[in-house]
Each structure stands twice: as structure tokens, then as C-alpha cells.
Amino acid sequence: MKNKILFLLLGLLISTSSFAQKKVRYTEDFYFERGIYSSIEQWKQNDPVKPKDIITDLDKTSPRFFQYLMAKESFRYPSNNEIIYQKPKDLFGYSDGEHLFHSNKYRFETIGSISVLKEVDVVDSYSSFIKPSESYEAEREEGSGKLFILDYETGEFFKCKPAKVKALFKRDPKLYAEYQKAKGSRKDKIDRFIKEYNFRHPIYFPKK
């Protein structure tokens, strides 16, 4: 009898754990919580370090919190009973609750097995104000606007060049054959088939 009860409890714990880690297919309405991802695995697990856990004197409720945080040389947060010192440029990325970024200067335009990112302006100096006003604009390093690719499977990050994107399409022979036969400009074809590849090869994130 005791063994039966033990097995039932164990089964309940496993079921509860599985439910907590239930993954859902990514769609455009998926919400990434505000926070930073130190690694791609942390992003894949949808487990960011939240603003409340970051050690800083910045106003964590400000819409500009991440703008100013990314302008710092480094910041700290606790993890596994130790303090981690993090440089913004070494992050995998962060979510400001509206947009998702890779490192501190690439914004996700498309999220999927093949993600498309754009190099955007970043803050490259920080005001001495303890609480910068909402109207304050820090100096910004101008982004090139160039597009980059993040391969979800390998974590490889590279400039969006047709030859390299086509190499990813080859993982799906049927889709690649369709790409080869498709008409239209190279840019248009690349755009269309990235979307199609992502549809056929969805990615999943734990639902918090």
C-alpha cells in the first residue's frame, strides 16, 4: 500500500513538473517577459533574469530601463548563490517587453528556426543622472540597418547572405527544391522561403 502511494505521489510530481515546463509553438503574439538572457539556452528556456533581480540604481519601471542598462560598461545579478558580472555586449540578448534583441545592438525582425535581425542604433554613453528624465536622449551609435541571421538550431549568427541562407534551406530538401524553381527576385525569394521554412519547422518555448 505504501509503495502504491509512493508511486502515485511520484507520478503527480512528474506530471506537475511536465505541466510547468509545457512548451508552446512560437507565434507572433508570444510574449517574452522583460529581462536579459545570458545565453541562447536561457532564451530557449524562456527564463530571463528579470529587472527586479538586476543590481543597479536605475529605475527598473522606466520604459528606458534597458536603453540605459545597455549603455553601462557592466552590471550585476545573483545566480546560483554567486554574483555574476555581465557586460552588455556579451549577453545573448534581452527583451524590453516589446522587442527582442540579440547582444545589445541587433533587433529581431523575424523569430523562428531562421531568425532575421537588424542592426539598430544603440546607446554608447550614459548620463551621470541617477534617474534620467524621460525626455533625456543619450548619445547613440548609429546602426547600419544591415540584416543578420540567427540559426536557432546551432546558434550561429551571420550576415544575411543568400548563399548562407540557401545552405539552411538545404536541410529541407523538398523546400529547397521549391526554392530553386521559384520565380522572383533573389531578395523576395529569400524572404518568402525564410517564412515558409519557419512555418514548416516551428520552434517552441516554455509557457510561463
For every one of its 208 residues, what pLDDT tens digit does the chain have, with 9 covering 90 and above? 545 444 444 454 444 444 456 899 999 999 999 999 999 999 999 999 999 999 998 999 988 899 889 888 899 999 989 999 999 989 999 999 999 999 988 999 999 999 999 998 655 444 444 444 554 444 444 456 789 999 999 999 999 999 999 999 999 999 999 999 999 999 999 999 999 999 999 999 998 7
Work out whether the CA dihedral 99, 124, 72, 86 comes out positive or negative. Answer: positive
Residues written for the chain: 208
Contact 106, 117 (CB under 8 A): yes
Provide the residue type at 193 as one letter: F
182 strand-pairing partners: none
Domain membership flag for residue 170: no
Cell numbers found for residue 93: 540578448
Residue 166 lies in a domain: no
Residue 23 in domain:
no
The count of structural domains within the chain is 1
| DSSP conformational letter for 81 | T
200 inside domain: no
Domain contains 154: yes
Domain interval for residue 56: 28-159
Q: Do residues 125 and 71 lie in contact, with contact meaning Cβ atoms separated by under 8 Å?
A: yes
Q: What is the pTM of this model?
A: 0.79
Task: Tell me, yes or no, whether 208 lies in a domain.
Answer: no
